[in-house]
Structure formats: structure tokens, C-alpha cells
Structure 1
Amino acid sequence: MEKLKAFIKKYYEGFAYLFFGGLATLLNLVLFAVFQAVLGTDFATGIGNVLDNIICILFAYWTNRTFVFRSKNSGQAALAEFGQFVACRIGTMVMDQVIIWLGVSVLAPHVAFAAANADLWAMGVKLFSQVIVIVSNYVFSKLFIFKKK
């Protein structure tokens, strides 16, 4: 039992990031799917993708600050932390948007499966994009935003 506790303590940050990152990703994919079902793929891959990213940025900041990296910053330091978090996440939101644009608007017309299954293809591109975004967000959070002092 002690070995398990030590293992969890040693890797808590990684486990917590995977768990809460998974929740943020799930939220992102669910919002994308809802926008796609209600307002169409064009909306979901454009304005809807930006909206779901904004919602997920706020959710991810709260969970990363509170549960993953356990930041104790307050006042100006907390404001700077939030600014850095949002700036990095806007960067990965742009990356997400570019990947979706390339996959849905540029690549899809040249792939037979994509043309026949546009909604499914768009969701697959979104899922692929989220893998790239999750890894990038962790690196930014660990190295630049919630770094231990």
C-alpha cells in the first residue's frame, strides 16, 4: 500500500493532468459535436470551434491551477499566471483551428471517405487536433505557466 501511495504521489501531477485534461478534451469534443448537430459542420469548424475553445480554456485554467499544478499564486502573480495561461491556450487554439481548417477545408475534398462522411471526418480531424493540443498545452503549462519556484 505504501508503494502505491508513493507511486501516486510521485506521478500525481501527470495523472491529474491526464484526468482533468481528459475532462477538458471531452468537454471540447462534446461542445464541437453539439454545435455540429445543431448548427452544422461549417459553424462547428469555425465560430463554434473558437467558442468551445474559450469555454475549455476557462475550465482548464481552473482545474490546472487548483488540482493539477496546485498553484498558490495570488494577486499580481495569479493575474500574470492567468495571462500566460490564456496566451498559451490562444496559441494552441490557433493551432487547433489551423489543423481543422487544413483537415476539413483543404484535405477533405481530396479524400473519398471524407467527402462521403463529412461530419464524421470533421470529428476525426477534431480528435486528431486535440491530441496535438493536449501535448502542447502540457508542455506550456509545465515549463512556462505553473513552473515551481
Structure 2
Amino acid sequence: MNQLPGQIVTIDSHGSIALVDAIVAGQRFTAMLIGAGEEVAAWEPGMDVTLLFKEVEVSLAKNLMGQISLRNRIACTVTSIEHGRLMSRVMMDFQGYRIASVITTRSAQALAIAPGVSVEALIKANEMTVVPAP
């Protein structure tokens, strides 16, 4: 599970859905929380939080141009890659934080992913969750 420490900057909610924006290392991240309850109603801008997202929910792109609906685009540098027969685990650095992605080995080979390569990690807002910092 990927974990990034952040701070809430905005919360927009309607009914049981909340969009929470948080800043991590100067970059804005958005999480869409479905079924947001009373706990989220008590959150405020400035609150320290941890952003959580699964390795399998992180897609990778190189040379991505134009607009895209994904809210979370993270410029990273690949630090290591473990190739399996079908799946590969890619470790990346984002501003000193470690992010992992699990993608197909075919995709890793097609993108020529290797240590030192620049990629964008892409995470849909609904695949990211937010919890209060410990």
C-alpha cells in the first residue's frame, strides 16, 4: 500500500460523497470518498492526513500529452523494477517519497521502464483514500 503524508487544503462534499484535496511535497492530490460519513464532516483545511492507494491502482505513462480526466498525475523517477513472468513491480521516487506500481510485464517492456526513467504515475481520485495522520 502506498502512503503519502499530506495536509488537507479543500473539502467539497454533497450527500455521502466528498472530494478531498491535499498537498504533498507541493503537489495537489484529489481523493473522492464515497460513503463519506460524519468523520469527514469534522475534517478541516490544514489537517494532517495520510493518502493511501494500492500498487495495482497506479498506472504509468511516458510522454503523456494533453488533458486527461485522472486527477492525480505524479512525476516520478523509476528507482527499480522487478520483472515477473506476467507482472512487474515498479518502484519510483516522488520528491523523496516511495511510490510502487504493479503493471503487466508486457506494459513495462513496451514503455521501456528501467531505473532512471521518468514516468508519470496516474491514480484515479476514487482509488485514493484519506485517513487522519496518526
TM-score (norm 2): 0.23
Indicate the structure with greater helix content.
Answer: 1
Please identify which structure carries the higher strand content: 2
Q: Which has the higher contact order (CA 8 A, sep 6+)?
A: 2
Larger Rg over CA atoms: 1
Structure-1-length-normalised TM-score: 0.21
